[in-house]
Amino acid sequence: MDIRYSANQRDVKRYTTEELRDEFLIQDLYHPDEVVSVYSHVDRMVTLGCMPVKEHVSIEKGIDCWKNFGTHYFLERREIGIFNIGGAGSITADGVEYRLGYKDCLYITKGTKKVIFASDSEEAPAKFYMVSAPAHTSYETKLITLKDAAKRPLGDANTSNKRVINQFIHPDVLKTCQLSMGMTALEPGSVWNSMPCHTHERRMEIYMYFEVPENQVVMHFMGEPTETRHIVMKNEEAVISPSWSIHCGAGTSNYTFIWAMGGENQEFDDMDNIAPMDLK
C-alpha cells in the first residue's frame, strides 16, 4: 500500500514540484482487476480505485489488512463511500448486491466483512472511486443516486465558476461516523471550483477530478492562503488537501470532481472563506 505520512505547512513552502506531487497527488487509480490504494496519515483517510474487468474483485485484493490496519478485514473499524465513474457494475456487501450506474454512490458501513466489485461488461468496465475513514459505529449501508443528493447551485458564468454541488454522503441524506462525500459539476464555460476558496481547519479533504476532456488539465491550487502552490492534474487523478490548505482549481475546460471530507465535524458550512484579494 502506498503510504503518505503527513507534511506540515512550514516544510511544504520549500517543496519542489516533484516533492509536492509525491506527497499530495494520487495517480493511476485504475488497473484492470486490481485495487489501488493510498493510505494518508492526514486523518487516516484511504483513497482507492478499482476497475473490475474479467474478475469479481475483493476490496482486500493486494491489501494486507493486518499489516496496514491491524484488523481482520478492511471495514472492521472503517466506513467507506464509493462512486462509480465508469460503466454499469455492482458491489456486493455481505451478500447483498447493489447495482451502480454512472455517478451512483454507495455508502458501506463499518462491520461489513465482504465487499466485492464487478462490471456488467468487459467492454465498458465500472470504475469505482472510494474514500474510507476510521469509524466507531455502524449505520446503514445505502445506495444514493444523483437525484437523492442535496443540490447546491453556486457561482456565476461571469466569474467562470457556475457549478452545482451535489451532496451525496451528507447528514441531510444519511448518517455516517465522519465521512462526507459529494460531486461538483462545472457548467460548460465555467472552470473555477471552490473559488472564492476556503480552508476548514476542522476537516481534511480529498478531490478527484474526472470528466476532464482529453488533452485538458486542471490546475489545482493548494497551500496556505498566502503561500499558494499548484499541482497540474489529469483526468481521474486525486489530491490530498490537509486541513491547513486551500483546495480549488481552474480547468482548461469544465470538468466534474468528487470531494471527500473527514475530521472533527460534518458541518459543511464550517469553512474559513478567503477573499481572492487576500490570496498570495
Ligand X SMILES: O=C[C@H](O)[C@@H](O)CC(=O)C(=O)O
> What's the closest the beta carbon of residue 16 comes to ligand X, in angstroms?
26
SS3 assignment, position 47? strand
The one among 40, 141, 160, 193 contacting ligand X by CB under 6 A = 193
> What's the closest the beta carbon of residue 231 comes to ligand X, in angstroms?
16
All three cell numbers of 142, joined, read 445505502
Site for ligand X in 95-134 (CB under 6 A): none
Question: Considering beta carbons, is residue 125 or 263 the nearer one to ligand X?
Answer: 263
All three cell numbers of 23, joined, read 506527497
From the list 62-70, 75-83, 143-151, 193-201, the region that binds ligand X by CB under 6 A is: 193-201
Contact 134, 106 (CB under 8 A): no
Site for ligand X in 261-280 (CB under 6 A): 271
From the list 35-43, 48-56, 121-129, 202-210, the region that binds Zn ion by CB under 5 A is: 202-210
Query: At residue 10, what are phi and psi to the nearest 5 degrees?
Result: -70, -45
Report the chain's terminal Cα–Cα distance, integer Å. 35
All three cell numbers of 114, joined, read 465482504
The reply on whether position 162 binds ligand X by CB under 6 A is no
- E runs forming strands in 88-226: 89-93, 96-100, 105-108, 115-119, 128-134, 142-144, 150-154, 163-169, 180-186, 192-193, 197-199, 203-210, 218-224
- Binding residues with ligand X: total (CB under 6 A): 11
Question: Considering beta carbons, is residue 9 or 145 the nearer one to Zn ion?
Answer: 9
The one among 104, 205, 224, 236 contacting ligand X by CB under 6 A = 205
The reply on whether position 190 binds ligand X by CB under 6 A is no
Contact 94, 119 (CB under 8 A): no
Burial of 239 (0-12, 13-18, 19+ CB in 10 A): buried
The reply on whether position 194 binds ligand X by CB under 6 A is yes
From the list 35-43, 51-59, 197-205, 215-223, the region that binds Zn ion by CB under 5 A is: 197-205
The reply on whether position 163 binds ligand X by CB under 6 A is yes
CA angle 238, 101, 210 (to 5 degrees): 25
> What's the closest the beta carbon of residue 220 comes to Zn ion, in angstroms?
13
Question: Considering beta carbons, is residue 116 or 231 the nearer one to Zn ion?
Answer: 231
Question: Considering beta carbons, is residue 112 or 241 the nearer one to ligand X?
Answer: 241
| Residue 232, CA atoms < 13 Å, CB-side half-sphere | 6
The reply on whether position 254 binds ligand X by CB under 6 A is no
Using CB under 5 A, list all residues that contact Zn ion.
Answer: 205
Using CB under 6 A, list all residues that contact ligand X.
Answer: 163, 165, 182, 184, 193-194, 200, 205, 247, 259, 271
